[in-house]
């Protein structure tokens, strides 16, 4: 396969990692980079040894004809405009998460993408693990019967002050479309919806959100105005339910529970790579045995997933003439749920998704 010529727009903490992952891939060749900050351009040119470096990503898109695809990694507020510019110049696009500021922006990108360009999102990082692929095959193959509920609840406790300056975008509606819901639960939703085969079609959302507690405000930027904790119940077609909750800087010990519940069994999952782990299956398909707990899969997941996996999938999608594993249509479902969670929390009422 001929390597895809990549232009990396945004070379900050996450963007530089994406650039290095693309450089290490046999499926990509990084030929250009752009960043507004001179020190990051110097890093790209001298340390990463990228052949051509631009100050403005628009110049990279408009002037560098060798670039086939761009990886866009800077706060969400300006990403959609840059993506649309790239699509207008017939360049494939891989977006950092969250995919956009809202569902309307995703719909606009779908219109601009057309049939010939690939557009993906890094929210798929945790579906590249072997365990996730085993779960996907099992659920979509009917191993749980009819899927009834998708569930996750993840708490991360607050730690003592470190003296580090928190990033201003982390819990910001203006810069990153929200807080922990957009910053982390785009991964959660991509994972739980993806491993179940994107079978969930959301219809109604009832939710609450909370900002970082006063005693832990040192963990977020002073101007932070978005959620550090959310909880939502989402009903869908065919009686399915999505129950989701995540908190960072929480007044609670770490707690992570993942489940897919079906008419004939339940899977107990993990999303993050933790080395050796198991996927547990409560099998209720045989009435003569009752519910029997089995190990569906066990192994070491540390070699899979990650940015490198998303980039390789993106490159293959370009050469194979298909869309990446998480398509813009998949990302639209995530964005619709996210928008509805914030609207429900703001109004105190259930919100419908058309």
CATH code for the domain in which residue 85 is found: 3.40.50.720
Characterize the bridge pairing of strands 241-250 and 255-262: unpaired
Characterize the bridge pairing of strands 229-236 and 202-210: antiparallel
Query: Strand runs (DSSP E) across the chain, as ranges?
Result: 4-9, 28-34, 52-54, 69-72, 92-95, 119-121, 147-157, 202-210, 229-236, 241-250, 255-262, 265-269, 276-283, 292-300, 351-352
Assess whether 268 and 141 both reside in one domain: yes
CB 255 within 8 A of CB 155: yes
Assess whether 294 and 311 both reside in one domain: no
Q: What are phi and psi of 126, to 5 degrees?
A: -95, 10
> What per-residue confidence (pLDDT) applies to 299?
92
Assess whether 138 and 185 both reside in one domain: yes
CATH label of the domain that carries residue 210 = 3.30.360.10
Assess whether 295 and 191 both reside in one domain: yes
Cα–Cα distance between 286 and 264 in angstroms, integer?
8
Neighbours of 75 (CB within 10 A): 19
Is there a domain that residue 271 lies in? yes
Assess whether 73 and 187 both reside in one domain: no
> What per-residue confidence (pLDDT) applies to 238?
94
Count of domains observed in the chain: 2
What does the block give as tokens for 157?
């406790």
Is there a domain that residue 329 lies in? no
Is there a domain that residue 328 lies in? no
Which residue is it, tokens 């999952």? 269
Cα–Cα distance between 50 and 53 in angstroms, integer?
7
Assess whether 40 and 135 both reside in one domain: no
Assess whether 119 and 142 both reside in one domain: no
Assess whether 213 and 268 both reside in one domain: yes
Q: What angle do CA 131, 72, 316 make, to 5 degrees?
A: 50
Q: What are phi and psi of 14, to 5 degrees?
A: -75, -40
Assess whether 177 and 102 both reside in one domain: no
| Structural domain of 241 | 126-304+335-352
Helices 185-195 and 130-140: crossing angle in degrees, nearest 10, is 50
What burial letters (b/e) apply to 196-224, b meaning 16+ CB within 10 Å?
Answer: bebebebeebbbebebbeeebbebbbeeb
Assess whether 269 and 156 both reside in one domain: yes
Cα–Cα distance between 294 and 268 in angstroms, integer?
11
> What per-residue confidence (pLDDT) applies to 329?
98
Is there a domain that residue 118 lies in? yes
In whole numbers, what is the pLDDT of the chain averaged over residues? 96
Neighbours of 103 (CB within 10 A): 20
The DSSP line for 232-275 is EEEEEGGG-EEEEEEEEEESS--EEEEEEEESSEEEEE--S--S
Assess whether 53 and 165 both reside in one domain: no
Assess whether 339 and 317 both reside in one domain: no
Is there a domain that residue 330 lies in? no
> What per-residue confidence (pLDDT) applies to 301?
86
> What per-residue confidence (pLDDT) applies to 273?
66
What burial letters (b/e) apply to 104-137, b meaning 16+ CB within 10 Å?
Answer: ebbbbbeebbeeebbbbbbbbbbbbbebbeebbe
Enumerate the H helices of 71-196 as residue ranges.
79-88, 103-113, 130-140, 173-176, 180-183, 185-195
Q: How big is the chain, counted in residues?
A: 354
Is there a domain that residue 317 lies in? yes
> What per-residue confidence (pLDDT) applies to 145?
98
Nearest partner of 185 among 337, 24, 3, judged by Cα: 337
What does the block give as tokens for 79?
């990403």
Low-confidence ranges of the chain (pLDDT < 70): 273-274
């Amino acid at each position: 396969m001929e390597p895809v010529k990549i232009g990396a727009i945004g070379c900050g903490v996450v963007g530089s990692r994406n650039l290095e992952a693309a450089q290490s891939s046999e499926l990509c060749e990084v030929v250009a980079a752009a960043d507004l900050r001179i020190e990051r351009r110097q890093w790209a040119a001298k340390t990463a040894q990228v052949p051509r470096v631009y100050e403005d990503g628009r110049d990279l898109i408009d002037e560098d004809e060798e670039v086939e695809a761009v990886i866009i990694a800077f706060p969400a507020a300006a990403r959609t405009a840059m993506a649309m510019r790239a699509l207008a110049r017939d360049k494939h696009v891989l977006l950092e998460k969250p995919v956009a500021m809202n569902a309307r922006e995703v719909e606009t990108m779908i219109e601009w993408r057309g049939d010939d360009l690939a557009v993906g999102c890094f929210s798929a990082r945790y579906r590249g693990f072997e365990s996730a692929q085993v779960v996907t095959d099992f659920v979509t193959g009917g191993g749980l019967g009819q899927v009834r509920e998708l569930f996750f609840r993840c708490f991360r406790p607050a730690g003592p002050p470190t003296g580090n300056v928190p990033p201003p975008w982390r819990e910001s509606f203006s810069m990153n479309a929200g807080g922990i819901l957009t910053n982390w639960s785009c991964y959660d939703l991509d994972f739980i919806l993806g491993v179940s085969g994107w079978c969930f079609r959301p219809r109604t959302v009832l939710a609450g959100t909370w900002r970082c507690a006063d005693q832990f405000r040192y963990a977020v930027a002073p101007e932070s105005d978005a959620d550090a904790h959310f909880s939502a119940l989402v009903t869908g077609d065919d009686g399915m339910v999505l129950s989701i909750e995540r908190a960072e800087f929480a007044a609670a010990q770490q707690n992570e529970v993942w489940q897919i519940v079906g008419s004939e069994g339940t899977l107990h999952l993990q999303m993050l790579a933790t080395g050796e782990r198991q996927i547990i299956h409560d099998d209720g398909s045989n009435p003569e045995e009752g519910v029997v707990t089995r190990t569906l899969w066990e192994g070491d997941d540390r070699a899979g997933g990650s940015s490198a996996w998303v980039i390789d999938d993106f490159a293959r999608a370009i050469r194979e003439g298909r869309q990446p594993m998480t398509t813009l249509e998949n990302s639209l479902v995530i964005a619709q749920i996210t928008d509805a969670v914030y609207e429900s929390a703001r109004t105190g009422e259930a919100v419908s998704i058309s």
